[in-house]
Amino acid sequence: MLSAAMGGSARLSQPDVRSPLYMNPEMREESRRAPIASLECMEEFPSCGEPIQGHGDSQQQLGSRTSQGISGAVRYKPLGKSGLRVSQLGLGAWVTFSPQVTEEVAEQVITVAYDCGINVFDLSESYSGGRAEVQLGNILKKKGWRRSSYHVLTKVYWNAKGDERGLSRKHIIESVKTSLDRLGLEYVDVMIIHKADDMCPMEEVVRACHYCIEQGLAMYWGTSRWSAVEIMEAWTNCRQFNCITPIVEQSEYHLFCRGKTELYLPEMYNKIGVGTMAWSPLAIGLISSKIDEGTPVFTRQSFKGYTWLKDKTGSEDHRKQQARLRELYNLAEELGCTLTQLSVAWSLKNENLHCVLIGASSVEQLLENLQSLQVATKLRPEHLTELERILDNKPVRPPMVSTLTQR
């Protein structure tokens, strides 16, 4: 009996060859990579076919649209390697709450977006001098939606007053508290650091973000317009000082701006779990469905704050872009969609994106952008190949240069 017991214990003590200690070097390296979550979390979850619950006046507007597949077409996925599930399309509120859009129209846009399944509303403390946060807060209070059914993102750095900006601990904490007062919320879902601050130590930034989360002012934090080096520095400081790490980087991404989002941010996701949220899929108005004598025209030059786009109209780069836009417009006609929808659909085809932020100054513009979900399903490999031929701007990594050869 004793020998049997010893034999049993011997069998239990046998090493598990599947353990990382017995893996080959490649397998050990793979086991250390991206320990935050499994890649299976990247699976897109359908909206389960739940019927749209109307809110206010938007139900009548949506009635004629539901048959076109807008409602129920939005899908969700985790933001980075966190557990926060976001819709693949989010609403950037820069245009929606601009001075040129009335409060009634802004409320309609927010309501229709929510009814169609969008659960991401992106703001900044500087949008319309803080009025954007006040307006969204009033809409959310009026609608009475469940707090768990939507995510509010607000950015910290730029303040309406020039002397109140940067990423000091004082400014970060005060800005988040002020944003919450304007929104009328107990917390924001993700606080976004809008820009890196060369004048502030990274340790101070990550400690301030950690404090905001620990105090319940925010659930997560992320970055916007940061380089891959800056994101890695922030993550390293978080690990060194035992602070909560960022979960997302908001990056400009459209047909004419691709390098950072396609080359470096997927690596950030695989290594440290930082997801990607794309903004400006229409190149801040450069991509338009309006055609003047066969040439797409700007849609936002007349908006206050977009007048700088007029300075680009006479450049050589602009003429080349217009030639490409004409070809893209012809391709969009073949697919039976608008150039705007083709641009957003192209962004949605990037599997490394977790959310694409769209803007809308009217319900019609919002619904047009939402139709991009159906256009994305029509884009076949041959269409994507044709797009690459037209754009001719696929980013490539610069060649590695040895410092020894430069001596």
316-351: burial string, b at 16+ Cβ within 10 Å, e else: eeeeebeebbeebbeebeeeebbbbbbbbbbbbeee
Decide: helix, strand or coil at residue 126.
Answer: coil
DSSP β-bridge partners for residue 190: 153, 220
**In this structure, is the dihedral angle defined by the CA atoms of residues 159, 163, 169 and 171, taken in order, positive or negative?**
negative
Catalytic option among 127, 150, 157, 329:
127
Question: Could you give the CA distance from residue 284 to residue 8 in angstroms, rounded to a whole number?
Answer: 69
Q: Tell me, what amino acid is at 345? A: A
Alpha carbon 256 to chain centroid, angstroms: 17
Note whether 343 and 254 are within 8 A (CB): yes
Task: Decide if 269 is catalytic.
Answer: no
DSSP string, 149-192: G-EEEEEES--SSTTS-S--HHHHHHHHHHHHHHHT-S-EEEEE
Q: Which residues are catalytic, by number?
A: 127
